[in-house]
Amino acid sequence: MTKTRVLRVDPARPDPRAIREAAEVLRAGRLVAFPTETVYGLGANALDAAAIDRIYQAKQRPASDPIIAHIYDPKQLDLLAVEIPPIARKLANVFWPGALTMVLRRAPAVPANIASGTQTVAVRMPSHPVSRALLIAANLPVAAPSANTFTRPSATTAAHVLEDLDGRIDLLLDGGETTIGLESTVIDLTGEKPVVLRPGGVLLEHLRAFVPEVTLAPRFVGGSGKTDTSEVPVASPGQMVKHYSPRAELMLFDGRDTASVIAHMQRTLQQLSKQGKRVGVLAPDEEHLYFAKDAEVKLLGSREDLQAISHSLFAAMRMLDGRSVDVILVRGFGQNGLGTALWDRLLRAAEGKVIHVD
Ligand code: TXA
Ligand code: MG
């Protein structure tokens, strides 16, 4: 056990002393959790293989799940990657700082364990003032996966980080809630054509404006109706199906006719209640009344406002776990804009199973 120190910082203007202290910890090869605009990251020196190993241990994460390196200036790309294609520079210009991670060819100086032994490296330049201040003060590229235990929902508050990692990391910068609430979009630029491995904070629609040929790795194309996850190809190392999961079983519903899907969810809720199960529902504000009577309902925000839904999804999953529900019911949020990333996280929280209501 390590004693985890928590330093509160103003998310917009972090105290330079706290930042310096955190930077020292990183420079000493130790672990610091910090807020980014997507989710909290669990950081270590990206050029130090032993420090990277500490991340895998703290998260109890398999070595086969590679980690993103974070930078504060696009110039640092050349430290981390080689044979950088022009499209990477262009995307960096447009989307950085921000929620876009690019997979590139790894430079020899970067330890192989950041990339699970592959010849690639994933890089992102975050926009959050605390991440930026920390990266600048440490003057190192920082390897940082989401700051949660493996398979748990990502942490969007410092309390979530402590829930999973207290006693396993050296320092936590508490900068309040993260804004986006879902992880970055991961785009692989090492193949013949760019492929999105994980939809996230940067919308596919926006990426397509700059890389029209980009495709979404097949397993994320929603609504396949498959209940057998063994057939789903793994698009990216570490993107195995069970992920982002609450402890409760999550049942994901989908279908074209809203009224039928909701009616099916209500029937399911009643059946589960009769069996003595505690049921939680993740619902948009508009659908509260359909479930309020029989379930523990967590409101996510308006269905018209996918940013609000994304911001609250992981926190809501953790809250329902806190109420010890056995099952969580949720309906998809479509396949446009952030709906794609939401579908991906829900699909994996549901271990790949979808209940289609026709
Ligand atoms: O928003 C985010 O991306 C957050 C914040 C902290 O930056 N980080 C994050 O990291 O979500 P993590 O480790 O939870 O998810 C990163 C995913 C990995 O699971 C893997 O699928 C993909 O990015 N990835 C990382 N390095 C890769 C590589 N070299 N090749 C292919 N995929 C990679
Ligand atoms: Mg993660």
Structure-block tokens of residue 302: 């308006």
CA dist 139 and 127 (Å) reads 16
pLDDT band at 220; cut points 50, 70, 90: very low
Query: Does the beta carbon of 131 sit less than 6 angstroms from any atom of ligand 1?
Result: no
Q: What is the mean pLDDT of residues 7-34?
A: 98
Atom of ligand 1 nearest to the CA of 70: 7
Residues in the chain: 358
pLDDT of residue 227: 36
CA dist 238 and 61 (Å) reads 9
Residue with CA closest to ligand 1 atom 19: 238
pLDDT band at 50; cut points 50, 70, 90: very high
How far apart are the CA of 337 and the centre of ligand 1, in A?
20
Contacts of 90 (CB under 8 A, 6+ apart): 210
Q: What is the mean pLDDT of residues 80-93?
A: 98
H/E element, 57: helix 49-59
pLDDT of residue 254: 97
* Residues 295-307 as b or e (16 or more Cβ within 10 Å = b): bbbbbbbebeebb
Q: Give the position of tokens 């056995």.
A: 326
Contacts of 133 (CB under 8 A, 6+ apart): 14, 16, 19
> Is 70 exceeded by the pLDDT of residue 335?
yes
Q: What is the mean pLDDT of residues 344-357?
A: 94
How far apart are the CA of 282 and the centre of ligand 1, in A?
25
Q: What is the mean pLDDT of residues 327-341?
A: 97
β pairing state of 40-45 and 32-35: antiparallel
Q: What is the mean pLDDT of residues 21-43?
A: 98
pLDDT of residue 355: 97
β pairing state of 142-143 and 171-174: unpaired
pLDDT band at 42; cut points 50, 70, 90: very high
What's the pTM value of the predicted model, to 2 decimals?
0.94
pLDDT of residue 1: 83
> Is 50 exceeded by the pLDDT of residue 224?
no
The percent of residues above 70 in pLDDT, for the chain, comes to 93
β pairing state of 68-70 and 40-45: unpaired
Atom of ligand 1 nearest to the CA of 40: 6
Q: What is the mean pLDDT of residues 211-234?
A: 59
pLDDT (tens digit per residue) in 247-299: 899 999 999 999 999 999 999 999 999 999 999 999 999 999 999 888 999 99
CA dist 333 and 303 (Å) reads 7
CA dist 84 and 82 (Å) reads 5
How far apart are the CA of 283 and the centre of ligand 2, in A?
23
Tell me the pLDDT of the chain averaged across its residues.
93
Q: Ion ligand 2 — residues with CB under 5 Å?
A: 146
CA dist 125 and 127 (Å) reads 7
